[in-house]
Amino acid sequence: MPVERYEGIRLGATPEEIEEEVERGVLLSTLDRAIGWARKQSMWPATFGLACCAIEMMATGAGRYDLSRWGMELFRASPRQADLMIVSGRVSQKMAPVLRRIYDQMPEPKWVISMGVCASAGGMFTNYAVVQGVDTIVPVDVYVPGCPPRPEMLMHGILTLQKKVRTEEPFK
């Protein structure tokens, strides 16, 4: 008699192994995967550029690089309709509370990409007027290095974030 195989369950396993499979939660892991897939495929970035890095971000959204391949072409003018903040450029001390307010206005779940060395660590602006790392203001999920990062690097950062979103567990 042929042995049937179901995805995630290996028939012919020992009772302990089957119990382990069931404990991992066949139904929940499938639902997790579906939610992660839906979230990663429908990320809408906030329209938010701070300095020269923003030009590269705009190029990433334009025709040549075409962010819409990943369902992300809809840069939203309202933070209430966005779930991704791309911090593209240096953050001045004056801008920091505004950036935080925009982040707070975005609905959960939300993610942040720090684009460029200025946003991530202050870059060449090692002075009192510029925030030395945007992760002191908002939680950052992915750091994109470079000055400025090319559109390919931002796209790599976005794909890295999508991988993270796809594999995270939404109910934890």
Q: Are strands 111-115 and 84-88 parallel, antiparallel or unpaired?
A: parallel
Per the rule left: phi > 0, alpha: psi between -120 and 50, beta: everything else, 86 is beta
33 or 47: whose CB is closer to ligand SF4? 47
Q: How many residues bind ligand SF4 (CB under 6 A)?
A: 11
Q: Is 153 in the site for ligand SF4 (CB under 6 A)?
A: no
Q: Is 86 in the site for ligand SF4 (CB under 6 A)?
A: no
Q: Is 52 in the site for ligand SF4 (CB under 6 A)?
A: yes
123 or 170: whose CB is closer to ligand SF4? 123
Interface residue with ligand SF4 among 90, 91, 112, 155 (CB under 6 A) is 90
Please give the biggest Cα pair distance in the chain. Answer: 75
Minimum Å gap between C-beta 104 and ligand SF4 is 23
Q: Which of 43, 36, 81 is nearest to 172 (CA)?
A: 36
Q: Compute φ and ψ for 71, nearest 5 degrees.
A: 70, 30
The Cα–Cα gap between 73 and 61 comes to 6
Interface residue with ligand SF4 among 45, 79, 116, 151 (CB under 6 A) is 116
Residues 6+ apart with CB under 8 A from 155: 60, 65, 67
The tokens 């139904």 sit on which residue? 27
Site map (CB under 6 A) of ligand SF4, residues 121-140, x = contact: --x-----------------
Q: Is 51 in the site for ligand SF4 (CB under 6 A)?
A: yes
Q: Which residues bind ligand SF4 (CB under 6 A)?
A: 51-53, 89-90, 116-118, 123, 147-148
